[in-house]
Structure 1
Amino acid sequence: MMTWKMKEVVLAVILAVACGVIYLGWSTLWIPISALVGPVGAGFMFGIWVIASPIVAYIIRKPGAAFIAEVAAAAVELLTGSHFGLSALLVGVFQGIGAEIAFAIFGYKRYNLFTLMLSGAFAAIGSMIYNLIANGLGYYSMEVFFTTLGIHVISGMILGGLLAKVIVDALAKTGVLEQYELMKEKRKRENVNGHVSGM
């Protein structure tokens, strides 16, 4: 098991708190939007609620990073007064497990756009599993269930995975992530490529 350095723990906490506050604002925004377009239509907003996992996992690249980030962000959302109440935290656990599986499949070796988007998709599946447990199988008609799942998966891939990569890559350009695995691996790749091209 790879141990976490203190700076990684601190960064994960800071990012989880920031994401948790964003989740709370997004939850508040969800109320009028779902009133306008219905809860199924509002499913396009889903991806933001799972962005903590790919952001933290992409930077830190350690087993457990995606799960811890999502649960911590969900806890912050709950503690800052989410109208979803305790379910905000519980769904975060299921989303975190889903997101973590995407990185585990590749043995925590691949952190490219595909894996980040897969993380968002699996988090959406985790979320729907929680909804089925919480609401019961009779809550959705077959059509509504698959429509909702489809919208959530697409949103998780785009607003979760893709947006996470865009945000982290932009942060990396500022130099604030120099000490983290993301940049260490990037430098390692550049050295290898430079060495190969210089041969």
Structure 2
Amino acid sequence: MNWKMKEIVLTVILSVSCGVIYLGWSTLWIPISALVGPVGAGFMFGIWVIASPIVAYIIRKPGAAFIAEVMAAAVELLTGSHFGLLALLVGVFQGVGSEIAFAIFRYKHYNLVTLMLSGAFAAIAGMVYNLLANGFGYYTSEVLLMTLGIHIISGIILGGWLAKVVVDALAKTGVLDQYELMKEKRKRDDIHGNIVGM
């Protein structure tokens, strides 16, 4: 499936924007983690995966979620994240996790449930990276389950649900009228109008 230039440009713009947000969020994570501990600060996780559902929801093409997350993570790294190379490496895993959510539905469903699954799967994939990087003895069973649970919930809310809220708000301004999101919405409206008119 070919990408149009406008889709590439929008993906870059949104991914770079999310990457800058990731950097700010990473900076905010330091004092919050000091206050509530790394496990407690896990509620912040979802913002770090929001690029995937935002771009995938608008562009609606295979690979969009993965590309957006990796690009945003690269921007976070290059703009000085204290996480260093970890930001990019975990971004690759999170991008794969997010992409799986859309692939399961064969890239045909871009609703709230799919976006939330995207955030949840990104959390699971991110934890897989942490286990591979730090070793399986890094977490006790209780801490692992608690951290994963918090990350999944945060991914669902701050990743998936918030992505839909942000994109739907952007769509109302008309700036997304030429993208797949709005084209599909117009098709559904036309079909609904024809059925009602019968």
TM range (shorter): over 0.9
1:130, 1:32 → 2: CA distance?
A: 24
Deviation of 1:146 after TM superposition, in Å, equals: 0.4
Report the TM-score, using the length of structure 1 for normalisation: 0.99
Deviation of 1:173 after TM superposition, in Å, equals: 0.1
1:154 lines up with 2:125 in the alignment: no
The amino acid of 2:54's aligned partner reads I
1:93, 1:65 → 2: CA distance?
A: 13
Q: Which residue of 2 aligns with 1:14?
A: 13
Deviation of 1:134 after TM superposition, in Å, equals: 0.8
2:113, 2:15 → 1: CA distance?
A: 22
Q: Which residue of 2 aligns with 1:129?
A: 128
1:62 lines up with 2:54 in the alignment: no
Q: Considering only aligned residues, what root-mean-square deviation do their CA atoms show, in Å?
A: 0.2
Deviation of 1:135 after TM superposition, in Å, equals: 0.5
1:153, 1:38 → 2: CA distance?
A: 18
Deviation of 1:181 after TM superposition, in Å, equals: 0.2
Identity of aligned residues (%): 83
1:31, 1:135 → 2: CA distance?
A: 20
Q: Which residue of 1 aligns with 2:86?
A: 87
1:186, 1:9 → 2: CA distance?
A: 21
Report the TM-score, using the length of structure 2 for normalisation: 1.00
Deviation of 1:152 after TM superposition, in Å, equals: 0.1
1:133, 1:20 → 2: CA distance?
A: 24
2:156, 2:7 → 1: CA distance?
A: 25
1:110, 1:130 → 2: CA distance?
A: 27
Indicate the SS of the match to 1:118: helix
Q: Which residue of 1 aligns with 2:171?
A: 172
Gaps of 5+ in 1: none
Q: Which residue of 2 aligns with 1:184?
A: 183
Q: How many residues align?
A: 198
Deviation of 1:124 after TM superposition, in Å, equals: 0.1
1:53 lines up with 2:60 in the alignment: no
Indicate the SS of the match to 1:138: coil
Moved >2 Å (runs of 4+): none
1:4, 1:161 → 2: CA distance?
A: 23
2:98, 2:3 → 1: CA distance?
A: 19
Gaps of 5+ in 2: none
